[in-house]
Amino acid sequence: MYTIKVQSHFSSAHNLREYKGKCEALHGHNWKVEVSVSSEGLNKIGMVIDFKELKKSLAEITSTLDHKNLNDLENFKKTNPTSENIAKYIYDCIITKHPELDIGSVTVWETDTSSATYGEQ
């Protein structure tokens, strides 16, 4: 099995609804995102997918989150914008853009020491 990973980042604000504590108030993070993609085989030039292509797809997704209040976005009006839900949202977007790939996981860091990972394997 071959696995490649790419990273991106975005900055945004959010607040956690029904959370009892400081995170209930509006606050921001400089988020880091990592996407892991796997394949049993390689394409004709020896790649799972071109890093450039996967980075471009991830950048398109993170640009829709960048410098936004996540709670105002359609996908997070009813779903709490937790790191876990952001990871699943990005996973779903990547799989929509690349249905031919085995998307291993998406990890979202809200700080250098706190992350959440979503994957369906």
User: In this structure, what token pair is assigned to residue 19?
Assistant: 């959370």
Q: What is the pTM of this model?
A: 0.95
Reported as a single tens digit per residue, the pLDDT across 8-27 is: 999 999 999 999 999 999 99
The catalytic site residues sit at 23, 67, 110
Q: Where are the domains of the chain?
A: 2-118
What is the dihedral sign for C-alpha 53, 101, 34, 12?
A: positive
Instruction: Give the alpha-carbon dihedral of 108, 29, 57, 70, to 10 degrees.
Output: 100
Listing from the earlier edge strand, what are the strands of the sheet with 114-118? 68-69, 2-14, 27-39, 102-111, 114-118
Instruction: Decide which of 3.40.50.970, 3.30.479.10, 3.90.1310.10, 3.40.50.620 is the CATH code for 2-118.
Output: 3.30.479.10
Q: Which of 103, 92, 86, 87 is nearest to 36 (CA)?
A: 103
- Per-10-residue mean pLDDT of the chain, 121 residues long, equals 96 96 96 96 95 98 98 97 98 95 95 96 68
